[in-house]
Amino acid sequence: MMHTRKSDCSEATDDARIELSRVGVSYNGQPALDDITVTIEHGAQVAVVGPNGAGKSTLFKALVGLLPLRQGQILIHGRPLGSHNNCVAYIPQREEIDWRFPVTVNDVVMMSRYGRLGWLRRPGARDMKAIAAALDQLGIANLADISIGELSGGQQQRVFLARALAQEPHILLMDEPFTGVDVSTQETILDVLTQLRQRSVTVLVATHDLNMAATRFEKTLLLNHRLIAYGHSEEVFTSETIRQAFGAQVFEVGANLVIDQCCGGHNQQAIQPLDIKTRT
């Protein structure tokens, strides 16, 4: 399920940001991230891109304190992790969630409020209003009493995005939210991201779709265990940085760079030169 901790983010400033300094993280006893130093500006919308196993999920789990740091420091709003993690909403990959867990859509979205309430207090009018607004925004109010295991992949993703919105976070982390969802849900997610930009909510989205990263996100963080590049998407995606990140998976077909992301050529992604400059 999506994770929160009881905390108070009311002291966050208008220039709140995420700062990583020489961060190293291990996963299953193996180094997953090494010497990551980067500052994510308040209100930025960032596509986190890299090959499978590059450390994208590890980065998100480190940002919410689910994995310990092997070295370095992470600051959120200028304070160490754990100070106000309720300000950060995290939506993991769908395969990490036990969809057999006997809870309804409303139950899942309600859980987002417990980080503010604590487990012994009952939700009040403000909580119920936030939950109802999130369900309406994602178009799933009619599913409130349905078990999450009965939903389609797109509906499940909408539920967990509604949960994140009801949390009223300053920072939203989404791990592969576009995988296995229908086109309507994908467009709904992108519409929500537009609304969050207007509210200056910082958003990090892990995605395998480089063309989407280049065209729909103002900034991209390119990762392969170490930081390859971070900045405006049109500047990050170059022939050199793509090759550094994806290595032998990259080859040329005419004017395009093609990335074979897996499966011996069955999941190839052409990087169009109009979308991503393939300069050196």
pLDDT band at 135 (very low <50, low <70, confident <90, very high): very high
C-beta atoms surrounding 213 within 10 Å? 25
pLDDT band for position 254 (cuts 50, 70, 90): low
What's residue 195's pLDDT?
A: 94
CA distances to 59, 80, 123, 148, 159 from 77, in Å:
17, 8, 27, 34, 27
**Can you state the angle between helices 183-198 and 153-166, rounded to 10 degrees?**
10
Name 232's Cβ contacts closer than 8 Å, sequence gap at least 6: 218, 219, 220
pTM of the model: 0.85
Is the pLDDT confidence value at 5 over 80?
no
So what's the pLDDT on residue 9? Answer: 57
Q: Single out the residue of 91, 92, 78 nearest to residue 18, CA to CA.
A: 78
Contact (Cβ atoms closer than 8 angstroms) between residue 41 and residue 17: yes
Number of alpha carbons in the 13 Å side-chain half-sphere of residue 184 = 8
Token readout for 34 is 């090494």
Query: Mean pLDDT over residues 178-205, rounded?
Result: 93
Distance CA 239, CA 259 (A): 12
Mean pLDDT for the chain?
A: 84
Question: Can you tell me the mean pLDDT for 130-155?
Answer: 94
Residues 6+ apart with CB under 8 A from 10: none
Angle at 183 between CA 179 and CA 189, to 5 degrees: 70
Angle at 85 between CA 158 and CA 22, to 5 degrees: 110
Identify the structural domains of the chain with CATH numbers, from first to last: 18-237 (3.40.50.300), 249-280 (no CATH)
In this prediction, residue 14 carries a pLDDT of 53
Residue 239 pLDDT class (50, 70, 90 cuts): confident
For residue 253, the model assigns a pLDDT of 58
Pair of tokens at residue 114: 């417990």
Question: For residues 84 and 72, what is the distance between their CA atoms, to the nearest angstrom?
Answer: 19
